Structure 1
Amino acid sequence: MKVAWTRTWIRLLIVPVAAVLAALTAGVPGAHAATDLSVIAQELREDPVYVDPAATDILSEADADALSDKIRDADKPVFVAVLPADYPTQDLFRNLRTETGVTGLYGVRLGDEFDARADSSVLSRQGVDNLVTAVQGAGDPKAQLNDFVDDALRSVGGSAPNGWRDGAGGDVSTTALITTGAVLAAGGAGAYALVRRNRRRHEQEQRAALEKLRVVVDEDITAFGEELDRLDFHPAEPGADDAMRADYERALDAYERAKELMAATAKPEDVRAVTETVEDGRFALARLAARRAGRPLPERRPPCFFDPRHGPSVADARWTPPGGAAREVPVCAADRTRLAEGRDPAVREVDTEYGRRPYWEAGPAYGPWAGGYFGGGLLPGLLVGTMLGSMMATPAYAADYGAGYGDFGGYEGGDVSGADFDTGDFTGGFGGGDFGGGGDFGGGGGDFGGGF
């Protein structure tokens, strides 16, 4: 195969050059024989996988070629560099990204350690963190890098740089082109049938997801209607004023509008408008209740994260999900008390194939449901590290369930942008280097700085 031969030839040229440089720098105080980043970047512009001549014991040439072919076939901007353990780490990701000049996801295996960074337009920081966490600690480099690439190709957006595609072909004979054309023509009918079959399967999945959502949203609307009844407000009752009547009318309108919207939903992303309407109605009820009781009017806050049926939140509280990172979430008064006492909050659970689970551990369809309640870019921070948050960080999610839920990722990749990129995506906010603690690889935690 011409591409594999070319890669082999380039590596054969680099090895003696690196050996000469090592010989020249041997014994020179402060000299470092590490391959220059410009060389690595040039390799990555032509091939998605680079293995340093001093790191061939980490990943063999055959395994590197197989990994490269996998990335090329997927046409995704995923870069992998395998470097020796003593390679300088100061600003490694940022400088590598600058030298390569291509928007994408960059994974680096450095000796026994691994980490990754990406342009936020390709994959969100949380999405990158999830990928790294999933493969962290794997001892076998081949298995680790293959798992990382497999997960990355399902998550990352954009397409591969043109350099990979331009170099992947070689000379193609006229006979081969004619033969290929004949095969494509013969397979056209089959391809069309496959597309139709996939479309039908996708539509079936969307209908099934909507039916699951319908149950949950109907419960929300019913609970909202019961709140209206319990309030027992009459516009003509003694003490009622125009402000109270306006709040009550807004709540009633929201209740009726939510029912109408839900009846008209045709796909899961339509549910977002329903829960937005329910949330607006609940806030109107909270204002009405405050007016009737003579209390200060509540500030406009998102509903309780654990169950929006609890009504508008009263504060933000620190909460750590099992196996996840701590974050601030909006909570109702009852859940704030539970958390302060060390008890579990009252979590909204939904039916899944594994039984009743919190909504953030259920399927992707619950993204639009949550998005209606927690808009304004709030959702990514709330769902960091959860199953639903990971799903919403993939480019395929927007196509199936809608976009606009916050900064889960922009998904434009593979373009040549040179040094014009957000360096914050590649530094992670760690001190003077990518990896914290003065640029050491691991920052004391053994994992390139301990996550984001």
Structure 2
Amino acid sequence: MDRIRRTSPLRVVLALLAAVLVPVLALAPAAGATPRADSVGEVAAALREGPVYVDPRAAGRLSGADAKDLTDKIKKSDKPVFIAVLPKAREFPPGNLLQDLRAQVGDRGVYGVVLGDRFAAGADRSVMPQGRVNDLRRSAEGTGGDTKAKLDRFVDGATADARGDAPASWNGGTDRGMGGGYVLGALVVLLLLGAGGGFLVRGRARKRRAERERAELEKLRPVVDEDITAFGEELDRIGFDPQASGSDDAMRADYTRAIDSYDDAKQKMDAARGPGEVRPVTESLEDGRFALATLEARRAGEPLPERRMPCFFDPRHGPSTEDVRWAPPGGTERTVPVCAADAARLRYGEEPMARTVDTPDGRRPYWEAGPVYGPWAGGYFGGGILPGLLAGTLLGSALGPWGYGDYGDGGFDGGFGDGGFGDGGGDDFGTGGFGDGGGFGGGDFGGGGF
């Protein structure tokens, strides 16, 4: 009779691991390979995990070992310095590449981007003055065509002079720009899943996202609270009495709608847990202000107002009355909806009464304050037309095809080349597009580039 051979649990585990790992290893890229980015958003996601990203199509310009050295240098400095090395490809249009990348990363810092054989740099002005960014870029370009030498010099200067700290998301993040350890990664994933660790990883990711969203919401809360308070004061100012002899059903319906919108906005803001939940709040306020404008027209015996978007310069001004051509300092003209008071100011050559918000550089118009205000503005103006109103601004970029995903803080100037990179154009708020002194005039992000 044949003897029965006993198989130890360890042998079973090893056999299972081998069965899973063999096909994984057969399909995995070689160690040091980097996931290809097919959009600016994917590059931004990589930079939220680590300070350096190298697209595999541009790996000939910076090796994995050199990328690791840069990463170690930046992390050791604990400074917010971001580096991307990208191929000249359709998915990376140069015209607004640097601004779009900054908007989607969502962190203030110094940004350097190699695109093909060109180099661009920019920085939030709260992190580094525009002039210093230009000096660093020119110094880096003085090293010649060697990407390693160029980035080494740029990173040395940026880490020495940048203000602020590295983003917390780099702690324990995956430096995708340095390549992936696929074998080790597969083992770790298997072990985590075997021990139920997959749930722990997902739980930690959810917790980090929740913390980030809470922080973004707190940046928006003061602005939204100001709007709610202002609308409440408007309700008090009109002094409407539904029971007065001159009140009719239509007036009472308008007033009820305005009151309901006010209460709805307060309740939604109290319940909000992330920045995306701010948009319904400002939608309610916009609806309530139109109801209030309709009520006041009825009481005055005037024609009822047309349903229009709020005043572009400050939604608290109420519904717009006309569209005018307007250009920010140093930018191109665009058509914006404005209230009667701001239209009159513009006709007389005066500045409109713009809504200002807090930024690291003090109070600035909301369109210069960064993509964190995307959901706030989206509730007032809708996602369809607002990107056109804000074309070329950091907030306008955030309202593009990626929607209201990442909300950074601060504006950003800088780009590729004097007057554009390759065939890429400049931006609407800039002074000559990408280049020395280019970018968003008066914004927070300064620099020059491709």
Q: State TM-score, norm by structure 2.
A: 0.52
Cα pair distance change 1:228/1:449, threshold 3 Å: same
2: distance between equivalents of 1:376 and 1:252?
A: 26
What SS class does the counterpart of residue 357 from structure 1 fall into? Answer: strand
What is residue 61 of structure 2 aligned with on the other side? 63
What amino acid sits opposite 1:359 in the alignment? Y
Structure 2 counterparts to residues 81-120 of structure 1, below 5 A:
105=91
Structure 1 residue 264: Cα displacement: 1.3
1: distance between equivalents of 2:234 and 2:422?
A: 49
Cα pair distance change 1:355/1:201, threshold 3 Å: farther
Cα pair distance change 1:178/1:261, threshold 3 Å: closer
**8 Å Cα contact 2:312-2:336 kept in structure 1:** yes
**Corresponding residue to 1:210 among 192, 210, 217:** 217
2: distance between equivalents of 1:179 and 1:348?
A: 52
**Corresponding residue to 1:80 among 70, 73, 88:** 88
What is residue 355 of structure 1 aligned with on the other side? 362
Structure 1 residue 265: Cα displacement: 1.2
Offset from partner CA, 1:210-241 (integer Å, 9 cap, x none) = 12322211211111111111111112323322
1: distance between equivalents of 2:324 and 2:204?
A: 47
- Aligned CA RMSD, in angstroms, stands at 4.9
What is residue 281 of structure 2 aligned with on the other side? 274
What is residue 328 of structure 1 aligned with on the other side? 335
What is residue 314 of structure 1 aligned with on the other side? 321
Offset from partner CA, 1:154-211 (integer Å, 9 cap, x none) = xxxxxxxxxxxxxx99xxxxxx987775566679899987766554443223212212
Is 1:263 matched with 2:261?
A: no
Cα pair distance change 1:321/1:116, threshold 3 Å: closer
**Corresponding residue to 1:300 among 301, 307, 325:** 307
**8 Å Cα contact 2:386-2:399 kept in structure 1:** no
What is residue 259 of structure 2 aligned with on the other side? 252
Offset from partner CA, 1:265-285 (integer Å, 9 cap, x none) = 111111111111111111011
**Corresponding residue to 2:398 among 388, 391, 395:** 391
1: distance between equivalents of 2:318 and 2:375?
A: 18
Q: Which runs of 5+ in 1 are unaligned?
A: 4-46, 50-60, 71-75, 82-103, 108-113, 118-122, 125-130, 148-167, 170-175, 402-443
**8 Å Cα contact 1:304-1:311 kept in structure 2:** yes
1: distance between equivalents of 2:96 and 2:379?
A: 32
Q: Percent identity?
A: 53
Cα pair distance change 1:142/1:105, threshold 3 Å: farther
**Corresponding residue to 2:374 among 367, 370, 392:** 367
What SS class does the counterpart of residue 379 from structure 2 fall into? Answer: helix
**8 Å Cα contact 1:79-1:105 kept in structure 2:** no
**8 Å Cα contact 1:224-1:255 kept in structure 2:** yes
What SS class does the counterpart of residue 204 from structure 1 fall into? Answer: helix
Number of equivalenced pairs = 292
Structure 2 counterparts to residues 72-221 of structure 1, below 5 A:
80=88, 105=91, 135=120, 181-182=186-187, 199-221=206-228
What SS class does the counterpart of residue 299 from structure 1 fall into? Answer: coil
Q: State TM-score, norm by structure 1.
A: 0.52
What is residue 408 of structure 1 aligned with on the other side? none
What SS class does the counterpart of residue 80 from structure 1 fall into? Answer: coil
What SS class does the counterpart of residue 365 from structure 1 fall into? Answer: helix
2: distance between equivalents of 1:309 and 1:258?
A: 14
1: distance between equivalents of 2:186 and 2:383?
A: 50
What is residue 248 of structure 2 aligned with on the other side? 241
